[in-house]
Every structure is written in structure tokens, then in C-alpha cells.
Amino acid sequence: MTRQIRNIAIIAHVDHGKTTMVDQLLRQSGTFADHEKVIDTVMDNNAIERERGITILAKNCAVSWNDTHINIVDTPGHADFGGEVERALSMVDGVVLLIDAQEGPMPQTRFVTKKALALGLKPIVVVNKVDKPGANPSMVVNAAFDLFDKLGASDEQLDFPVVYASGINGWTSLTEGAPGEQWGPDMSALFDTILRYVPPNSGDPAASLQLQISALDFSTFVGRIGIGRISQGTLKPGMDVLVMEGPDGKSTKGRVNQVLTFQGLNRVQVTEALPGDIVLINGLDDIGIGVTITSPIDPAPLPMLKVDEPTLTMNFCVNTSPLAGREGKYVTSRQIWDRLQRELQSNVALRVSETDEDGVFEVMGRGELHLTILLENMRREGYELAVSKPRVVFHDVNGERHEPIELVTVDIEEGHQGGVMQALGERKGELVNMEPDGRGRVRLEYRIPARGLIGFTNEFMNLTRGSGLISNIFDGYEPHRGEIPGRKNGVLISMDDGEIFTYALGKLDERGRMFVKPNDPVYEGMIVGIHSRDNDLVVNATRTKQLTNFRVSGKEDAIKITPPIDLTLEYGVEFIDDDELVEITPKSIRVRKRHLKEHERKRASREA
């Protein structure tokens, strides 16, 4: 082969510094010109990714180091986007596992590492953020070894190289030490470790073409674009190929239009691509995730990519509220269905099906974050819809109902330990590990039904005064653990259509916390606040002061109202009960009862 190639994926738990590390690799490999102004976390190019500081989609880039072309895939850390991680790992020959030098291995570290080890990839462990106060690199390396051992790593995988780094400052070193003493001045230690330990691709350029599509993109100029790694053979523009859905699936003929590879963050057209190259191809209409592009003369299809099944389901419905159609551009069931079908083409962890009810679709995903990111994208595109409370996906095993169990790690101050343990116990959680860190904080590990985590995030933040960290990962299916108590408070329901007035809010303030502010439109059946008691209460939210010409001496007191709760999409989805919906429009998030009329709600509760 004419050039050396290495393909690596950077995997880690949320916020352990993957995207920042890729920034430094791009900068120090000379990808950007000296005068070029580059934003931080340059790989997170989606608006929602930049707002939330998380990676949602796996992204590709490439750098050159010592005449070697290194393809880098930056992957998400959240387990909800595990479908992205699984596809990314199918394109690479090695993984760089980043672990925070203070936090150590976390649940999502376990998740992504398990996937990498199962594929036979040998990890390079990078202990990141070693310059943080409280960093303990040697403890982290030992914890990583124990984790690999628990996950069934081979002897070769257990003999992993370690690099110490501070991604944000661009340092790496092969030895542990204090900053300024033994640190390398740049990322060369990591680059050299990648070249030494990640094997080059061993595919034969003369063999039959074998290219598996791991990701999709779209361009208005050339249509659908497939992204994947060539395992063997040579690919050229204008070549006739076969698109095969696994060894036993259907196959269609086609012709490749352009072949592009990554160079830095850019895509560059090439006249031929060889084994090991991660390429982008267009011109094929029937291209999809997991298909193999192969030679029509001597086909060599690969098995389709396997992705873990979804664990959570929601109903997406047409918006039927009195305010429907005022803000959205796409409001019909056909438009919502078409949008969900488009999402399925690239979002492999999603499942969509029609229900018996007209205009209601069942959408299954990996978790709340997975589904709410889809909803956020849809509302930004101009869609208007309503969604139900998330429900877990049950499995029937030998006639017994099994439910998904999550492994939850909470990192909290010791003073909040009692309240958090009580809350998790009420939600059928069982404690499996407890580790105080000796500095006033404690880490608890629980196994808890996924049902118990729906709506728990807000309660957890209140219990820990915002200082707690919580993360969870799917751990398997187990027999149903019984009923879990739901929301403790009832809601305040508007009895009329109209506009909210300050006078009405002043009267309702003592009844509970409000979701609405003066001049907001409301309608009958819309939820305007949280009741301070456990029952639902129908209130007059459009009440106005009666104006008369009767005057009294003395000045009236100014009406004091508590600021409303900021109703975000995530909060709304977590807050609602089974008989409620979240109404989502491009400009507003509202919560409402499924049945808007009071007599309909009473009839429904009798039938239930």
C-alpha cells in the first residue's frame, strides 16, 4: 500500500473530554492554518450539541502524523446514543478510551468499553484531566484494569498502554508526574502510542470490494451519502457495484458517483480508495445503514450491523389543542409520519410504528434523552405535535413479564446521602456498591427498574441542591419488580379558554407553583401549575377584577406572584402522568390533560 492508515474511535463517559481531545489532535497535527480562527469543540457542529455541550452524532475527521493518515471518529458519551457508538466502532481498528483522572470509570465508560472489547479492539487508556485538583491517575488505571477484567477482556487487551493527558491544555506524557516536571509539551506521546499499538488494516487491495456503510449523510446536490470503511478491495468513482443487505438479504445493482475521504474536517474527492480508508460515496439510492457495497462479479457481503433494542416508548400524536396550528408549519399526521420515516434512515436505534388510534404513532428509543433530542429537532424544523408520558418496553420471558433494569451511579455530598437513598429505595432500587472518597462526597451504585428513573432527575437535583451527579446505563432485563409510586402532587387545570391575568395568578399563587405567566394564552383542560396537594384542581385562570365606580379609601396592595417554573421539553416529558400530554410547538411547550373537558376526564377515570 502507498500510505499508512490508522483508524481509531475516541470513546468515553459524558464530559470526560473526548471532543476537546479531538480539538487538540486537529490543531497540533497542522490541520488548521496559523491564521485560521477555530472555535472550541469544533466537532460538535450541531446547534443542540453546542447549546448542551454534549456529542449526539458520531463524527469523522482525519489527521496526518509522521506520514501516517489517522482517521478519527468522535463518539457520543450518553448511553442513549449507543447506536451511534456501535456503528462508529465497526469502522475502526483501535479505540482510545478517555477516563477522567478524578471521576474514574463511570457507567457509560463500562458500556462503550464492553462494545469495544466484544469486537476484539485493543484499547489505549488515556487518563485525562490529570491537572485537576483531586486527580488520582494511579487509582484510575487500576480501576480501568478491574473493569476490563470484569468485562471479560483477553490477556492482550488487559496489557493496555497508558497515556496521561490534559486535553484542554494540550499535554500528553507516558509517565505520571506533576505538571511542569515530566509532561510532554504536546500531543506527540498520544500520536506515537496510536501509531505503535493500533494495527494497520490488513485488507487485500486486489480482493473483491467490501465496504460496509456505518453512517449516512445527505446533500441537496448529490442525494444520500454513505460513510464506511473499506475492509478489502479497491473503490473508484464510476464503478459498478452491488448493494447487499447481508449474506441473505436483497441486493440491488448501482454505480458509485463520487468517492471522498476525510482530510482534517474537510471532504476531499479521490480517484481511488484502498483497504482501511474511511470513505464517503454517493450515487446509490438504495444505500442504508449496515449494507455492504461489494463487487457484482464476486460478492463478499458482511453481516448487517446489530444494534441493541430500544427500552423506552412514547406516543407521538397530532396536536389537537385549541391553540393548534398557530405556530407550526407541519401539523398533520402524514407530515409527522414522513418526518419519522426520514429519521429512521439514519437513527438506527429508533423504532416507529402506527397504532390503532388515528394520528398516533408509537416511537421507541434508547432513553428519554434520545427521544427528547428528536422532539427538539422536530420543533426547530417547524413541527407541531403532542407526546405522551414515556413507558418502558416490557419483554415476555417464559410467560413472565420482564422489565429493563438500569445501573445507576450517583456522586453526591455525604449530607444528601439519606434523602437520595430513601428516594431510590422507594423506586425499587437496590444498592450494589457504596464508596466514600474521603473528601466529603460518596459514590452510590444502584440497580433500579428503568420505570423508576422516569421523572427522577428533577427530584434528584432538588435533593442534592444541584450538586449531585447522576448517570445510568442499561443493565439487562429482569422480572417485574411491582408498582412504583408516581407523582406526589396533583395539578391545577384551567376551566376556560382565554388569557392569563395577573389578578388570577395572585389568587392562585397560594394553591401551588405555576407554569404560566401573565398574558399567556390558556385553554380548557390545559395544566397551568402544580397543586400543593395530591389531588387535581380545576381553577379559573382567566379571572379578571370586576371594575366598578365604587371607590374605597386606602391604596390597594400590589399583587405579588411567584415566578413561574421554566417549562422545558425535558421537564414536561418527565413531569406528566399517564392521562396527560406535552404539547410541543416551535415557540411553546405546554402540558395538558389528554381529555380537555372535565366530564370526559371523569368518564375516562370510571372506565379505567
CB atoms within 10 A of CB 138: 11
Task: For residue 59, say whether it is annotated as part of any ligand binding site.
Answer: no
Task: For residue 17, say whether it is annotated as part of any ligand binding site.
Answer: yes
Rounded to whole angstroms, the Cα distance separating 119 from 579 reads 44
Rounded to whole angstroms, the Cα distance separating 107 from 408 reads 7
Beta bridge partners of 538: 493
Cβ-contact 454, 367 below 8 angstroms = no
- Helix segments in 455-501, DSSP class H: 456-463
Q: How would you class 244 by CB atoms within 10 Å of its CB: exposed for 0-12, middle for 13-18, buried for 19 or more?
A: buried
Q: Where are the beta strands (DSSP E) in 101-209?
A: 122-128, 162-166, 171-173
Please enumerate, as own/partner, the contacts of 394-398 that have beta carbons within 8 Å and a separation of 24 or more.
394/480, 395/477, 397/477
Rounded to whole angstroms, the Cα distance separating 48 from 473 reads 22
Task: For residue 130, say whether it is annotated as part of any ligand binding site.
Answer: yes
- Calculated CA dihedral for residues 552, 554, 556, 558, nearest 10 degrees: 170
Cβ-contact 419, 459 below 8 angstroms = no
HSE-up (13 A, CA, CB side) for residue 130:
28
Residue 10's contacts (CB-CB under 8 Å, 6 or more residues apart) are 18, 21, 22, 72, 73, 74, 75, 95, 96, 98
Task: For residue 545, say whether it is annotated as part of any ligand binding site.
Answer: no
Task: For residue 363, say whether it is annotated as part of any ligand binding site.
Answer: no
Q: How far is CA 542 from CA 45, 515, 598, in A?
A: 44, 14, 17
| Angle at the Cα of 311 from the Cα atoms of 83 and 291, rounded to 5 degrees | 30
Task: For residue 442, say whether it is annotated as part of any ligand binding site.
Answer: no
Please enumerate, as own/partner, the contacts of 349-356 that have beta carbons within 8 Å and a separation of 24 or more.
349/81, 349/82, 349/83, 349/84, 349/307, 349/308, 349/310, 350/83, 350/310, 350/374, 351/310, 355/315
Cell of 183: 509532561
Cell of 498: 382565554
Task: For residue 18, say whether it is annotated as part of any ligand binding site.
Answer: yes
Cβ-contact 262, 71 below 8 angstroms = yes
Rounded to whole angstroms, the Cα distance separating 198 from 452 reads 41
Rounded to whole angstroms, the Cα distance separating 119 from 152 reads 12
Cβ-contact 213, 293 below 8 angstroms = yes
Rounded to whole angstroms, the Cα distance separating 118 from 95 reads 12
Cβ-contact 413, 440 below 8 angstroms = yes
Three-class SS of residue 210? Answer: strand
Task: For residue 268, say whether it is annotated as part of any ligand binding site.
Answer: no
Task: For residue 129, say whether it is annotated as part of any ligand binding site.
Answer: yes
Three-class SS of residue 556? Answer: coil
Nearest to 251 by CA among 307, 306, 304: 304
φ, ψ for residue 167 (rounded to 5)? Answer: -60, -40
* Type of residue found at 543: R
Write out the binding residues: 15-20, 128-131
Write out the binding residues for GTP: 15-20, 128-131
